[in-house]
Structure 1
Amino acid sequence: MKNIITILLLLSTAMFTSCYGQTKPIGEEPLNLESFDFDTKILDLYPEKNKSKEYNGYYEIKGTVHSQLVAKDTTYINEYSENKKAIGLEYCQKSSTSIDTMAVFENQQFQKVNVATTINGTIKVINAVADEITSKQCDGLITKLVKKYGKPKKLKNNWNETFTIYEWTTKNKIIRFVSAFDDESTTMKIVIHKENKTIASGEKEPHYVGYLFIINPLLKAEVFGKMKTGDFVYLDEKMD
């Protein structure tokens, strides 16, 4: 009887470990960036079933109201020269809504997730974007990170020197966070009143956007100085 109980306990533990370690596709539940394992397969995040039937090269991930589009692209160095070389793949979310939560980190919710991999599919960096957050929320996240990981390294963003990149290094990941103020000067907001059948201009709502990056330390040489597209431009630091 004792042996039977021991076997049952071992089986239960194995089943629990398997379920706990499983990562569901992005959109099915918020991606937990605090415990994210870089051994996760890209097909676990973007399975074949999520490939768009309407748009070639796109995935459709589940949103609260409707699905969101994710574009899969190859990235290159020397892209416009004869020496062009493919260096990785990017999965960039092209649409989002404020009521979606695609990822979480230290209780902060993020509405967009972008993923970059090596050519063979190993995940090298995950980018989560928190849209329309306040300055207080940005400061609160930095405070939590300082409390947990210590004093950060501060870097200037290469794309815009007015932005400060905060960086923390741990044994299994490198964390970078930068926030940018959006005054919506280039944003057109339209309010449609279905009942009155009218269209009007919406009010501007200046806000901050938070960009969080979780970087695979084993592949940092393929990340730093190499990410030049989309939201990944906020990752790149200015070199002296």
Structure 2
Amino acid sequence: MKNNITLLLLLFTIMVTTCYGQTKPIGEEPLNLENFNFDTKISDLYPEKNKSKDYIGYYEIKGALRSQLVVKDTTFLNEYSENKKAIGIKYRQQSSTSIDTMAVFKNQKFQKINVATTIEGKIKVINAVSEELTGQQSRDLFKKLVTQYGKPKKLKNNWNEKFILYEWIKNNRIVRLVSAYNDESTTMKLVIQPKKQIISSGEKEPHYLVYLFVINPVLKDEVFGKMKTGDFVYLDEKTE
């Protein structure tokens, strides 16, 4: 009887881990944003084995074509003053390719993942970025979120008031979404044809970038108003 109980407990643990935990590092398996469990250990997402051998403070995660670099750094309050205080850790992905899939929501793929934790390593917020979407694809993702979480609250983005920030508040997560249009007016594209020794201008391809944030509601006071670098600048709403 004792052996049966032990076996049942083991099976239950495996089921919980499979359903709610991230068992593979980012890059080895897409992070499921729909049911992400904030009790996941940061070391499960960025294990020691993925620390870069060439760059101090960096991790290397598996990409479709090549490894992508993730920088680990500290979040400070009053960063540029004598009274600065460390309040967390950020893991920010530095590059990506359009065929990478680091995370998914429903069947929407995201090429970049950024993660923020407390100093102790408790995950505060997951940020996923989808970098080259059409207008229709951006609208489809919004519809999926509405189907999943209901009607959102509309806010002005603090970094750029032209962007609308959508927010859904649930018991176990706060979700925020913002879409940014890039017309590539400041982008220079070059087409290189080595055999013909020709370098010409490439055609611009306007597109949308979508920033999705999944926030731990227990730690929201350590997130809102305190994440000011990288893709986290899209997180906050404008306050009057």
- Quickly name the TM-score band, shorter chain normalised: over 0.9
Equivalent position of 2:151 in the other structure: 151
Q: 1:180-195, aligned counterparts within 5 Å?
A: 180-195=180-195
Please tell me whether the aligned partners of residues 20 and 35 of structure 2 are also in contact (alpha carbons under 8 angstroms): no
d(CA) in 2 for partners of 1:9, 1:117: 33
Q: Note the alpha carbon deviations across 1:4-30, whole angstroms, 9 max, x for none.
A: 878766654544444444411000011
Equivalent position of 2:131 in the other structure: 131
Deviation at 1:192, TM superposition (A): 2.8
Deviation at 1:168, TM superposition (A): 0.3
Note closer, same or farther for the CA distance 1:199–1:115 as it changes in structure 2 (3 Å cut): same
d(CA) in 2 for partners of 1:230, 1:214: 16
Q: Note the alpha carbon deviations across 1:156-215, whole angstroms, 9 max, x for none.
A: 001100000000011100000000000112222222334445433221111000000000
Equivalent position of 1:69 in the other structure: 69
Equivalent position of 2:226 in the other structure: 226
TM-score of the two chains, using structure 2 as the length reference = 0.93
Equivalent position of 1:98 in the other structure: 98
Deviation at 1:148, TM superposition (A): 2.2
Equivalent position of 1:208 in the other structure: 208
Q: Note the alpha carbon deviations across 1:48-68, whole angstroms, 9 max, x for none.
A: 111111111111100011000
- Residue 138 of structure 1 aligns to a residue whose secondary structure is helix
Q: 1:78-97, aligned counterparts within 5 Å?
A: 78-97=78-97
Please tell me whether the aligned partners of residues 21 and 37 of structure 2 are also in contact (alpha carbons under 8 angstroms): no
d(CA) in 1 for partners of 2:215, 2:6: 39
- Residue 60 of structure 1 aligns to a residue whose secondary structure is strand
d(CA) in 1 for partners of 2:15, 2:202: 50
Note closer, same or farther for the CA distance 1:217–1:199 as it changes in structure 2 (3 Å cut): same
Which deviates further from its counterpart, 135-144 or 88-97? 135-144
- Residue 231 of structure 2 aligns to a residue whose secondary structure is helix
Equivalent position of 1:49 in the other structure: 49
Note closer, same or farther for the CA distance 1:229–1:7 as it changes in structure 2 (3 Å cut): closer
Deviation at 1:77, TM superposition (A): 1.1
- Residue 114 of structure 1 aligns to a residue whose secondary structure is strand
Please tell me whether the aligned partners of residues 173 and 216 of structure 2 are also in contact (alpha carbons under 8 angstroms): yes
Which deviates further from its counterpart, 91-100 or 16-25? 16-25
Amino acid in structure 1 at the alignment position of 2:172:
N
Deviation at 1:123, TM superposition (A): 0.6
Which deviates further from its counterpart, 193-202 or 44-53? 193-202
Count residues in correspondence.
239
Instruction: Indicate whether 1:28 and 2:28 are aligned.
Output: yes
d(CA) in 1 for partners of 2:226, 2:7: 50
- Residue 69 of structure 1 aligns to a residue whose secondary structure is strand
Q: CA RMSD in A?
A: 1.9
Note closer, same or farther for the CA distance 1:75–1:189 as it changes in structure 2 (3 Å cut): same
Instruction: Indicate whether 1:199 and 2:199 are aligned.
Output: yes
d(CA) in 2 for partners of 1:158, 1:170: 22
- In percent, how many aligned pairs have the same letter? 68
Please tell me whether the aligned partners of residues 166 and 178 of structure 2 are also in contact (alpha carbons under 8 angstroms): yes
Deviation at 1:137, TM superposition (A): 1.3
